[in-house]
């Protein structure tokens, strides 16, 4: 299968996890979701990532986001790894870690890159909307841990821009000014943003973030 692209519907699957059996589409029904892969259990970078994500659970939940990890190792290894995560990161795993020993999920989601490694996944991360479509896709090499503050920043942008006809500029963080998208005419913008905006160029109109 070709790699998933932004806008594609994510494949459904059934699998075991550290929180019991999961049917993915059913588990994420009506919610935003993050699915991120780990090249292998009992690896140092993955251990830190799972600890960080566990500590950020409240921030994900505040945004209505469900988080799922997936690794190509069997569920027995996952359960043993959970103890290591708690011991080294000071936080117990508090979201499902999915087992994918036959690599069906990794293959369906394009997480295995043969030129990098033909058996292990790269660090793929998908943000999935309530419509079960890919909204964001980030891939890192196995050697580099992910920045989950950036993941949350992008979720803030995705959720804001899904509700309002705006885009977020470079290095934007929640609360800062945004951009009125070019498809909105000045006439329509007056109705949507009655307090006005700053025009830098006809295509670049800056406005306070909608509440």
pLDDT digits (tens, 9 = 90+) for 1-33: 467 999 999 999 999 999 999 999 999 999 999
Cα–Cα dist 71/36, whole Å = 9
Which of 28-32, 108-112, 133-137 is predicted least confidently? 108-112
The residues annotated with a catalytic role in the active site are: 46
Does residue 159 lie within any of the structural domains?
no
Cα–Cα dist 50/68, whole Å = 10
One domain for residues 91 and 188? no
Rg (CA), the chain: 19
For the cut 70, the answer to whether the pLDDT of residue 117 exceeds it is: no
pLDDT of residue 1: 46
**DSSP state letter for 32:** E
CATH number, residue 182: 3.30.1020.10
Residues 37 and 124: beta-carbon distance below 8 Å? yes
In which domain, by residue range, is 181 found? 164-207
For the cut 70, the answer to whether the pLDDT of residue 173 exceeds it is: yes
One domain for residues 126 and 194? no
- Enumerate helices (H) and strands (E) in the chain, giving the number of each: 7, 11
Does residue 33 lie within any of the structural domains?
yes
Q: What is the mean pLDDT of residues 103-118?
A: 78
One domain for residues 55 and 133? yes
One domain for residues 62 and 119? yes
Residues 133 and 155: beta-carbon distance below 8 Å? no
Q: How many domains does the chain have?
A: 2
Cα–Cα dist 84/79, whole Å = 10
Does residue 1 lie within any of the structural domains?
no
The pTM (predicted TM-score) of the whole model is 0.92
Name the token pair of 32: 């935003």
Query: Which has the closest alpha carbon to 27: 7, 10, 39?
Result: 10
């Amino acid at each position: 299968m070709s790699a998933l692209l932004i806008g594609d519907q994510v494949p459904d699957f059934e699998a075991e996890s550290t929180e019991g059996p999961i049917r993915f589409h059913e588990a994420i029904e009506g919610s935003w979701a993050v699915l991120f892969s780990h090249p292998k259990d009992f690896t140092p970078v993955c251990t830190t990532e799972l600890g960080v994500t566990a500590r950020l659970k409240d921030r994900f939940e505040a945004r209505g986001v469900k988080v799922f990890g997936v690794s190509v190792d069997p569920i027995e290894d996952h359960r043993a790894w959970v103890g290591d995560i708690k011991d080294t990161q000071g936080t117990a795993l508090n979201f499902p870690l999915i087992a994918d020993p036959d690599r069906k999920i990794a293959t369906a989601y394009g997480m295995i890159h043969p030129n990098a490694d033909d058996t292990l996944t790269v660090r793929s991360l998908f943000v999935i909307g309530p419509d079960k479509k890919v909204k964001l896709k980030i891939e890192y090499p196995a050697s580099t841990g992910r920045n989950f503050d950036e993941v949350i920043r992008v979720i803030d942008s995705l959720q804001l821009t899904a509700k309002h006809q705006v885009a977020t500029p470079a290095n934007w963080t929640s609360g800062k000014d945004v951009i009125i998208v070019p498809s909105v005419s000045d006439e329509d913008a007056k109705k949507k943003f009655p307090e006005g905006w700053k025009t830098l160029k006809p295509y670049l109109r800056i406005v306070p973030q909608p509440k």
